[in-house]
């Protein structure tokens, strides 16, 4: 039976249950809903270093600032802009697939893109960063945006994996042994996966925000290409 942990002052319900079997869906061993039914913030689950926590919270915003900072000096050209758009389309396909499959902190998602790589959303974000470097037409942008991305998302990966380890324990460790962190394995999964794609979940994970930003930034660079003297 579920047991409420009185030490949480009624904010987070902690569920005590046995570890699921291989056939049983993997549900969190700790709690993941607040009293009002919402998922708690990450720092209610783990307590990373304050700098790491800041980078984790603001990673997307900082990367966007880095890209926007390059716009005044950008020199988009048809070939490189086309390559960049191609990267961004591929990136968004990966992100939509991942966003539509994952149920954050509610289950250990191992199906869909998560059968090939542990962080497909971040793989998609990396492809976006590469794409925008091409779109700017400036080779120097790669020496700004790529290192910035790696610093920020290293903090994100560290924090996220600590959360998942705390939530799912040995099941997550076994998953990590099967599936690489960032470079997708070529072979598909050989075991049943947990999770199923749905467009409703894409919306629930607010992937539309990322799509809007991609369209806006791409449009700015396309406009600059046609209107630059």
Question: pLDDT tens-digit profile of 65-114?
Answer: 888 888 888 999 999 999 999 999 999 999 999 999 998 777 889 999 99
What percentage of residues in the chain have a pLDDT greater than 90? 41
Please say if the pLDDT value at position 45 is more than 70: no
Euclidean distance between the first and final Cα of the chain, in Å? Answer: 70
Cβ of 143: how many Cβ atoms within 10 Å?
11
Give the Cα-Cα-Cα angle 198, 194, 114 (nearest 5 degrees): 80
On the question of pLDDT at 36 being above 60, the answer is: no
C-alpha 208/C-alpha 187 separation (Å) is: 30
pTM flag (> 0.85) = no
pLDDT at 127 over 80: yes
- Structure confidence at residue 66 (pLDDT): 84
Place of tokens 């542990």: 118
Enter the tokens of residue 87: 């990267």
How do the domains of the chain map onto residue ranges?
42-227
Collect all residues with Cβ–Cβ distance below 8 Å to 198 and sequence separation of at least 6.
100
Q: What is the pLDDT of residue 119?
A: 95
What distances in angstroms separate CA 90 from CA 3, 26, 121, one per listed residue?
45, 30, 12
- The residue assigned the tokens 């991305």 is 149
Q: How many Cβ atoms sit within 10 Å of the Cβ of residue 12?
A: 19
């Amino acid at each position: 039976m579920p047991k409420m942990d009185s030490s949480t002052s009624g904010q987070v319900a902690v569920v005590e249950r046995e570890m699921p079997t291989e056939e049983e869906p993997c549900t969190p061993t700790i709690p993941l809903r607040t009293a009002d039914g919402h998922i708690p913030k990450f720092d209610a689950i783990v307590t990373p270093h304050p700098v790491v926590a800041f980078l984790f919270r603001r990673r997307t915003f900082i990367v966007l600032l880095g890209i926007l900072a390059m716009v005044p000096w950008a020199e988009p050209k048809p070939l490189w802009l086309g390559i960049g758009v191609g990267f961004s389309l591929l990136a968004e396909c990966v992100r939509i697939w991942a966003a539509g499959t994952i149920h954050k902190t509610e289950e250990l998602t191992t199906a869909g893109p998560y059968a090939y790589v542990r962080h497909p959303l971040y793989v998609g974000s990396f492809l976006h960063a590469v794409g925008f470097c091409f779109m700017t037409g400036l080779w120097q942008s790669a020496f700004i945006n790529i290192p910035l991305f790696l610093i920020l998302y290293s903090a994100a990966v560290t924090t996220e994996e600590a959360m998942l380890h705390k939530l799912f324990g040995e099941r997550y460790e076994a998953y990590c042994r099967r599936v690489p962190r960032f470079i997708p394995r070529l072979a598909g999964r050989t075991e049943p996966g947990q999770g199923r794609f749905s467009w409703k979940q894409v919306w629930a994970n607010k992937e539309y925000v990322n799509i809007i930003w991609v369209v806006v930034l791409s449009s700015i660079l396309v406009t600059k290409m046609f209107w630059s003297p």
